[in-house]
Structure 1
């Protein structure tokens, strides 16, 4: 074996030589014993003494363990007659004799023994599978989720919504109000208290129901529906409609049979109340009563019990967002209580009137609009796959503007008589972020337009006390694009709820600008006061008047063309800071396409050079990183004042801000405040050129 000079590895040109094998040691023999000075007689005499000692030690150990073995075998000996009698009865049964005869006849066939062995093997595999399913049963206490809190804040840091995971205390059935118990049974299983027998047909029915993908809503046959839903959804953790394996179905049948045979109906009901979800992340009647109504479970009234029981039917609904949908489910629960005979028709009507005005704690026009949930969905990508213990999300929502919008909506509803009327409002800032929102119908749907508005509204994100994302100011959105976004979002806010019995016709919407804000209003479900559209326009004028009192006029007037586009007589907004009022940026065309990176401040797009506004670019490694960031993405460049000066965006990201935020360049003299803030963030983090 050779090695080349200066290398640490072997030269594979010469095959390695195997190392010499050590010689085997010869077995001891009488000749070797004699050569070592021992005689053959003494050698075999020693072996005989060793065998004699081992026999004596074994006898002593057997005498020591004999009483223990006898005591352990005593119950088996006492049970032997029972097993023998049972075996005799089984053997004397006609079916046993027929089975034995069939086995003998099958064994006489050419392939009989092979088929018999295959059947016995299949039975053995099935027995092992059942034993494995029994050994891997989940605990009856259900899963223990880790508590976490997600807080959505307004622009000034005031909380506007809270989301998270909370598990309540385990309560005895006597600690839950009778109204809550009856409402829960009316929602989950009206026939739960009917008697049933767990005989052979009942066991077969339980097993058959476990293998069905849906849980029957009708009267049960075999086992209670409440027990089956408790096992499938709350103990095993299978979401409705989710695929289930064969092992999951077998475990479900085992647990349903176990609970039905070992626990009383009251104990099963208490366990179901403790494990039932009452909204995303809210588990148990204790957590639901305290979190939604601020009271103990023993103090819940009929209307509150119907609201919570309706939530248990659709745990995907948010209690403070989908209030109209949960109320509709609560009215169905009241009908079920009347059917069960636990509530009279007059009591149900009175509880229904209370239910119509019932809202859980924390339900506001902002939460009912769905805006906080859209922002959290947009922030989920930045939070990462691991769930945080605590997260804080700050948005563009202006608390003062929101209060004015809610007050104006209340005045509009009072003027309409409130009989089926709905008033909706949406205010977008210059960057497209939501600054005020009032739901006039159903919550905002999760659409691409709503996601873009949520992304523009996201300002700060903290995870477990550490900042994750910080965007102080976003780039301005073109007036036409912002108007289109507002109309799309307003149409989603003002659509009638799906549970509405009488979806009234929409009176119309009105869109106009107030300073640098774009405001859209809608009044639905009532006849126009002085012709079509008067309601929404009066609503808008009320909001505009309140804004004019609360906010000073901007220093620079917006072009009248923008005011004519929105159809408003209100004061126009200011020109973006990076534009030069003495120049005409509209003369330069808008560029779109996949750019080629020259440096971090210059692009080659559509056959011409483009300078990013407010950026002094860098080459070398920073340019390569910028090119990798774009990765053949399409960009849109708006003229920003100079002949080749543009403000470019890739999707929702302003490229000037991206470069400065990552330290890929320096802010040019006279750069707008949003770019200076991005450069300050890079300096604080010592990123890029600021290392």
Structure 2
């Protein structure tokens, strides 16, 4: 078949595609084409103007965005040298050449070029993602929170506890005591000073640890564990157990590599000390040393350093509330310092003894009970979603009653010889609010009963100087409900602290009314001569006597309170002395062989009996009094109160016998013969008066 030659129409040539066709010359008679050309020229001119305006607008926008983009790219510029160094090390690794060879071989296969392009696209997307993560790194100095202060007050406005946000300054390592540095390393990373190489294996190890949810505490052969904790918890702000995004994990790896490559071990340790959390809202060793111990970081002792280092292991603990739990962590820190060789066994033993008696500034029985924190939780909804700069919470805590409770507990613990003894005390008002509290073990937890008591204890709330909540009058709580709540709270308050051994010897609990107040006592870890129950009751009687002196209540009111609560305790209000003719005829006399509680109280016929006119003593005097009575029969006649009696054995008045031997003091308002017996003992320097 012969191909026919291609021909063209007469008068037409082929178009040369190598250059644009020449514009035909305009003819004078072509009016329509001239109008079309004018319209085209106008359209082109308009498009040129639009492009020019867009270019000017783009330049203006770029000028405005340039400062912000420069700030955002600053972290990327800082990490660029480290990344270039790391990229060079990765490229020199034999694995990189193998990957490149595999890519060349894949490109020669069918569909291999598409796969290579897809891989390159994925690498490009990963590079963009890495660049975005690097550009959004958190500042290395940590976030600077706005200082906030919340003050919890007693009923009269006396400060009870303070909470808030405080961040100290970043101190150079030389401004921190050597004991604090070693204690912090023993707590956070005992192997921090081991040799570590940031080669390909080291980089892979850092990336692998960044993608794990936990940070191992076991030994390892090098590795920036302290750096990783600093980045994860203090810079990125991820709490242990929190879910972390992929971007956070990548940022962690970037920052760990950057700090490991650019800063020395001393600089990283100083940064970690300056950004570590030492309790809720308390950041940095500078602030922790000043607020908790009232001294500079350079002046911290070994026991104080162990306390703070232990607190850094669990920053959710409150320094002035969870004292026992923090001391337990501090002892573990001292063991770690001995293991690292920075502390001898003798020095650790001495520091351990100091640590057992160490408490931060502002620690009181009220703060250790956890009541201020429960009240803060109860007021959270009224404080609003945005924390205030300053807030004041006033509670039902009675400062005078609190002082009486603390003194009564101190006296009882002194009489028991301290040791492992623990005494807890709780006083609830008519509305269920906490009037006084002494922690006997662990602080109160957020149970329904504790939250209810905290809500009833909140009286007034100021937010930034503006009143938000005011509860001047509260309705009374039913007696049975109040008693159940007190027993539940007392059991929680008396449980042993975490890590402590529960003593085998227990005295138990005692609950009774004092006027319109309901008092609960718990005593653990003591041994009494007269059986279980005497210890808590003795503490109750001591507190009730102090309250009666400060707030005398009518007999009818005390009896009515005892009847409502159903308590086996008797009303203990101090009453005026009465003659036998004025004594209530319905109160029977008692007869039998008593058990001695102390030199002012006996247990007779199953009830507690107070010797009229005597303030009793325990210890050796109580033992001598017990030996004096032995198995003698005693007859007791009422002396004006539900548990106040004049007791005799034979012809001897026991109140006069106690005071004559100097085994007690005459109570206020005692009859003349008892005051004379006390004066005789003072003149002879007998008993207490030696």
TM-score, with structure 2 as normaliser: 0.69
Once the two structures are TM-superposed, the CA of residue 554 in structure 1 deviates from its matched residue by: 4.7
**Residue 588 of structure 1 corresponds to which residue in structure 2?**
none
| Residue deviations 1:267-311 (CA, integer Å, cap 9, x gap) | 000000000000000000000000000000000000000000001
Once the two structures are TM-superposed, the CA of residue 316 in structure 1 deviates from its matched residue by: 0.3
**Residue 515 of structure 2 corresponds to which residue in structure 1?**
515
Residue 394 in structure 1 maps to residue 394 in structure 2: yes
CA contact (8 A) 2:545 2:573 kept: no
**Residue 188 of structure 1 corresponds to which residue in structure 2?**
188
Mapping for residues 527-676 of structure 1, pairs under 5 Å: 527-554=527-554, 557=557, 559=560, 562=563, 565-570=566-571
**Residue 157 of structure 1 corresponds to which residue in structure 2?**
157
Cα distance in structure 2, aligned partners of 1:267 and 1:202: 20
| Residue deviations 1:464-484 (CA, integer Å, cap 9, x gap) | 000000001200011111100
Q: Per the alignment, in what secondary structure is the counterpart of residue 381 of structure 2? A: helix
Structure 1 spans left out of the alignment, 5+ residues = 1-28, 48-85, 574-691
| Residue deviations 1:556-606 (CA, integer Å, cap 9, x gap) | 625377257022211699xxxxxxxxxxxxxxxxxxxxxxxxxxxxxxxxx
**Residue 257 of structure 1 corresponds to which residue in structure 2?**
257
Cα distance in structure 1, aligned partners of 2:290 and 2:325: 21
Cα distance in structure 2, aligned partners of 1:419 and 1:328: 17
Once the two structures are TM-superposed, the CA of residue 536 in structure 1 deviates from its matched residue by: 0.2
Q: Per the alignment, in what secondary structure is the counterpart of residue 435 of structure 2? A: strand
Count residues in correspondence.
Answer: 499
**Residue 173 of structure 2 corresponds to which residue in structure 1?**
173
CA contact (8 A) 2:107 2:113 kept: no
**Residue 131 of structure 2 corresponds to which residue in structure 1?**
131
Distance 1:128 1:32, change over 3 A: farther
| Residue deviations 1:341-384 (CA, integer Å, cap 9, x gap) | 11000000000000001000000000000010000000001111
Mapping for residues 446-465 of structure 1, pairs under 5 Å: 446-465=446-465
Match of 1:103 among 86, 103, 106: 106
CA contact (8 A) 2:192 2:222 kept: no
Cα distance in structure 1, aligned partners of 2:436 and 2:523: 16
CA contact (8 A) 2:444 2:493 kept: yes
Once the two structures are TM-superposed, the CA of residue 100 in structure 1 deviates from its matched residue by: 5.5
CA contact (8 A) 1:310 1:330 kept: yes
Cα distance in structure 2, aligned partners of 1:333 and 1:90: 41
CA contact (8 A) 1:198 1:222 kept: no
**Residue 415 of structure 1 corresponds to which residue in structure 2?**
415
Q: Per the alignment, in what secondary structure is the counterpart of residue 566 of structure 2? A: helix
Q: Per the alignment, in what secondary structure is the counterpart of residue 559 of structure 1? A: helix
| Residue deviations 1:227-265 (CA, integer Å, cap 9, x gap) | 000000000100011011111111111100000000000
Mapping for residues 132-281 of structure 1, pairs under 5 Å: 132-281=132-281
CA contact (8 A) 2:146 2:165 kept: yes
| Residue deviations 1:163-200 (CA, integer Å, cap 9, x gap) | 00000011110000101011111111111111111111
Cα distance in structure 1, aligned partners of 2:97 and 2:397: 81
Cα distance in structure 2, aligned partners of 1:334 and 1:523: 31
Q: Per the alignment, in what secondary structure is the counterpart of residue 436 of structure 1? A: strand
Cα distance in structure 2, aligned partners of 1:500 and 1:347: 23
Mapping for residues 87-102 of structure 1, pairs under 5 Å: 95=98, 98-99=101-102, 101-102=104-105
Once the two structures are TM-superposed, the CA of residue 413 in structure 1 deviates from its matched residue by: 0.1
Distance 1:569 1:259, change over 3 A: same
Q: Per the alignment, in what secondary structure is the counterpart of residue 203 of structure 1? A: helix
Cα distance in structure 1, aligned partners of 2:202 and 2:304: 36
| Residue deviations 1:450-499 (CA, integer Å, cap 9, x gap) | 00000000000110000000001200011111100100000011011121
Distance 1:406 1:126, change over 3 A: same
Cα distance in structure 2, aligned partners of 1:96 and 1:239: 38
**Residue 426 of structure 1 corresponds to which residue in structure 2?**
426
Cα distance in structure 1, aligned partners of 2:132 and 2:283: 29
**Residue 326 of structure 1 corresponds to which residue in structure 2?**
326
Distance 1:446 1:503, change over 3 A: farther
CA contact (8 A) 1:433 1:454 kept: yes
Once the two structures are TM-superposed, the CA of residue 112 in structure 1 deviates from its matched residue by: 3.1
**Residue 295 of structure 2 corresponds to which residue in structure 1?**
295
Cα distance in structure 2, aligned partners of 1:302 and 1:459: 42
CA contact (8 A) 1:369 1:438 kept: yes
CA contact (8 A) 2:506 2:525 kept: yes
Residue 406 in structure 1 maps to residue 406 in structure 2: yes
RMSD over aligned CA atoms reads 2.9
Cα distance in structure 2, aligned partners of 1:501 and 1:334: 20
CA contact (8 A) 1:150 1:164 kept: yes
TM-score, with structure 1 as normaliser: 0.69
Once the two structures are TM-superposed, the CA of residue 34 in structure 1 deviates from its matched residue by: 8.0
Mapping for residues 64-75 of structure 1, pairs under 5 Å: none
Once the two structures are TM-superposed, the CA of residue 115 in structure 1 deviates from its matched residue by: 2.4
Distance 1:369 1:514, change over 3 A: same
Distance 1:529 1:30, change over 3 A: farther
Q: Per the alignment, in what secondary structure is the counterpart of residue 473 of structure 2? A: coil
Distance 1:267 1:530, change over 3 A: same
Cα distance in structure 2, aligned partners of 1:222 and 1:328: 28
With 128-137 and 346-355 compared, the bigger mean Cα shift is at 128-137
CA contact (8 A) 1:203 1:222 kept: no
CA contact (8 A) 1:184 1:309 kept: yes
Cα distance in structure 2, aligned partners of 1:162 and 1:485: 27
Structure 2 spans left out of the alignment, 5+ residues = 1-25, 45-88, 575-690
Mapping for residues 487-502 of structure 1, pairs under 5 Å: 487-502=487-502
Q: Which has the larger radius of gyration?
A: 2
**Residue 475 of structure 1 corresponds to which residue in structure 2?**
475
CA contact (8 A) 2:544 2:572 kept: no
Residue 444 in structure 1 maps to residue 444 in structure 2: yes
